[in-house]
Amino acid sequence: MTDTCDYSDFSQMGTAAEIPVYADENDGIVSCKLCHNNCVIKNGRFGSCGVRGNKSGRAIIPFYGFISSLAVDPIEKKPLYHFKPGSQILSLGFTGCNLHCPFCQNWRISQKTDIQGRYMKPGEIISSALKYDTSSIAYTYSEPLVHIEFLLDCMALARRHGIANVLVTNGCINQHAAKELLKLTDAANVDLKSFSDDTYKQLLGGDLQTTLNYIKLCYIMNVHLEITTLVVPQLNDSSRELSEIADFIVSLDKKKIPWHLSAYHPEYRWNAPPTESGFLLNSAKEARKKLMYVYTGNISAVNDTSCENCGEILVRRNGYRVNVFGEVSMQDTENKKNENISFPLLPGARYKCGKCGKMSGIIC
Ligand code: SF4
Ligand code: SF4
């Protein structure tokens, strides 16, 4: 059953489920422990994300299962370039966000909760994925992490149906919750918006260290990881800051984690002119001195992936038209970085170079 609902009609909202794991309830006050904001929420109010609240002293999540958008996208749109290239992915959008980026490109659903949408159950999401024959589901558009209870339910069900789970996220979530979620996550694209504590705290309402910890955890837990930085003029576009981000990525895994540098367009409260294509291309060129896989987004550019050994093209991309030339190999050379954690992954098939046979990090 799918209900439609307007936020203004609170009585029709999903069950006001309790959130005992991520919140304490004391003397009528709810203390949410899910993210760096650690909100102390009074009766009748919501936390900074706008979706986790206090009703008569009880922690509530009335947006459990509230879906603001449901679409089938090319996986490259997430962006993920080294995970199931050329495939389609069922993409779910929610509402609310624990950050408040002034340049948010999705502010109509991330910074407001009085939006149109519909309630869906995890089973309905899986049915949609099966109906559209997508082998993966993305939790994306606004910030999925603040809907962790729904994600855990939906991801567990997806796993049981052999469907991969993809998180597209700001990574601002406390470690205990992140660990639980990442056990069910196959791939993540994490925004690393800046390398400045001040920018994260004062401008975005986020926390740099929490984000870095989340990214490290993705890596340790063997989740396929790609990182995105929206290059925003006057915010994070200094060569020093971009270089610091590249150094951090290198510190995780030598050179192999893909980094997407995306062009910003004026949106919400940020009026600086759009990122210039030439600047973005130059920044990518600089970054490629440190990292093997740097891609540009929201501009027209060559974004192919070549074999790291012989240079043969493995994946050719023309916009969202994708041709994969690598050969499927079941040999998995990169799995199990941490033997104490026995997850994910899907079977571990990767593409290898059709010319020299070198295994790539690209998951089939
Ligand atoms: S998840 Fe929401 S309510 Fe909880 S601490 Fe973060 S912003 Fe506050
Ligand atoms: S974290 Fe993402 S969704 Fe949230 S405000 Fe920032 S850009 Fe928007």
Distance 86 CA to ligand 1 centre (A): 35
pLDDT score of 348: 65
Domain boundary among 265, 282, 302: 302
In a domain, 110, yes or no: yes
Pair (106, 34) in one structural domain: no
180 phi, psi to nearest 5 deg: -60, -45
Distance 345 CA to ligand 1 centre (A): 29
Residue pair 70/128 in contact (Cβ under 8 Å)? The answer is yes
The number of folded domains in the chain is 2
pLDDT score of 21: 66
pLDDT score of 119: 96
Pair (281, 239) in one structural domain: yes
Q: Taking CB atoms and a 6 Å cutoff, what residues make up the pocket around ligand 1?
A: 32, 34-35, 37-39, 47-49, 52, 98, 146
Domain boundary among 269, 302, 335: 302
Pair (170, 195) in one structural domain: yes
Total count of residues recorded for the chain: 364
Dihedral sign, Cα of residue 219, residue 225, residue 226, residue 229? negative
Pair (72, 176) in one structural domain: yes
Contacts of 295 (CB under 8 A, 6+ apart): 79, 81, 258, 259, 260, 261, 284, 303
Task: Provide the H-helix boundaries in the chain.
Answer: 107-110, 122-131, 148-160, 175-182, 197-198, 208-220, 239-253, 277-287
In a domain, 332, yes or no: no
Q: At what angle do helices 208-220 and 239-253 cross, to 10 degrees?
A: 30
Distance 204 CA to ligand 2 centre (A): 8
Domain boundary among 302, 325, 341: 302
Q: Taking CB atoms and a 6 Å cutoff, what residues make up the pocket around ligand 2?
A: 97, 99-101, 104, 106, 110, 142-143, 170
Domain of 50, in residue numbers = 18-60
In a domain, 242, yes or no: yes
Atom 3 in ligand 1: residue holding the nearest Cα? 47
Task: Provide the H-helix boundaries in 121-238.
Answer: 122-131, 148-160, 175-182, 197-198, 208-220
Pair (40, 121) in one structural domain: no
Best probe residue, ligand 2, of 97, 193, 214 (max atoms within 8 Å of C-beta): 97
Say whether pTM exceeds 0.75. yes
How many C-beta atoms lie closer than 10 Å to residue 198's C-beta?
Answer: 9
Q: Which atom of ligand 1 is nearest to the CA of 46?
A: 3
Residues of the chain under the 70 pLDDT cut: 1-21, 331-348
103 phi, psi to nearest 5 deg: -105, 15
